[in-house]
């Protein structure tokens, strides 16, 4: 079974709930999905992920949520080809009322590509009513991973 790692960056739990949904849908579809907070994976484990789905909200003024900061800094420190064996897609949560809409998710999308990972599906940026956009993204990424 293909292993898929879902990492969430969250302050108030929306991204965590979505990552649980992704896990459920993925496992039902025959994938071997695991989900965890971005602060629950160590750097060595992260570096060898083959299939990564990121769900990340934006906080403060366009900033990473607290539980995402250390992992993001680690990824920033990697060399250009270090993630060449990784496939990824990003679901970004935010609020269009903020100037830096979904900035944290956009940063993940950019940094993973910069470090050599291959985008399997375009990032989707979700406003506060994220359910429909998230559901569409989940269906598409899971079908691409199957």
Ligand X SMILES: Cc1cc2nc3c(=O)[nH]c(=O)nc-3n(C[C@H](O)[C@H](O)[C@H](O)COP(=O)(O)O)c2cc1C
DSSP three-state, residue 57: strand
Cα 118 to Cα 84, 121, 129, distances in angstroms: 7, 9, 28
> Rule CB under 6 A: is residue 20 a binding residue for ligand X?
no
Q: Could you tell me if 130 and 14 are in contact, meaning their C-beta atoms sit under 8 angstroms apart? A: yes
Cβ-based nearer residue to ligand X, 72 or 83: 72
Q: Which 30-89 residues touch ligand X, going by CB under 6 A? A: 57-62, 65
Range 77-109 burial, b when 16+ CB lie within 10 A, else e: ebeeeebeebbbbbbbbbeeeeeebbbbbbbbb
| Residue 145 within binding range of ligand X, rule CB under 6 A | no
Rounded to a whole number of angstroms, the minimum distance from the CB of residue 37 to ligand X is 11
Q: Which is nearer to ligand X, 63 or 82 (CB)?
A: 63
DSSP state of 31: -
Give the pair of three-digit tokens for residue 49.
Answer: 């992920």
Binding positions for ligand X, 121-140, rule CB under 6 A:
128
When the beta carbons of 66 and 82 are compared against ligand X, the nearer one is 66
Measured from the CB atom, the residue of 68 and 83 that comes closer to ligand X is 68
Determine, following the binding rule CB under 6 A, whether residue 14 of this chain makes contact with ligand X.
yes
Q: Which stretch binds ligand X (CB under 6 A): 8-16, 35-43, 107-115, 137-145?
A: 8-16
Among the residue ranges 73-81, 97-105, 114-122, 136-144, the one whose residues contact ligand X (CB under 6 A): 97-105
Q: Quick check: 102 binds ligand X (CB under 6 A)? A: yes
Q: Are 6 and 17 in contact (CB under 8 A)?
A: no
């Amino acid at each position: 079974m293909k292993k898929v790692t879902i990492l969430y960056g969250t302050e108030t739990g929306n991204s965590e709930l979505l990552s649980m949904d992704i896990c459920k849908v993925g496992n039902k579809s025959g994938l071997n999905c695991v989900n965890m907070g971005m602060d629950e994976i160590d750097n060595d484990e992260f570096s060898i992920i083959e299939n990564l789905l990121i769900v990340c909200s934006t906080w403060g003024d366009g900033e990473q949520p607290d539980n995402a900061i250390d992992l993001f800094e680690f990824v920033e420190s990697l060399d250009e080809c270090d993630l060449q064996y990784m496939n990824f897609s990003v679901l970004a949560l935010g609020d269009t009322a903020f100037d830096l809409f979904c900035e944290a998710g956009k940063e993940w999308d950019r940094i993973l590509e910069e470090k050599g990972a291959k985008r399997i599906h375009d990032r989707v940026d979700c406003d506060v009513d994220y359910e429909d956009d998230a559901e569409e993204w989940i269906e598409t990424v899971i079908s691409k991973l199957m």
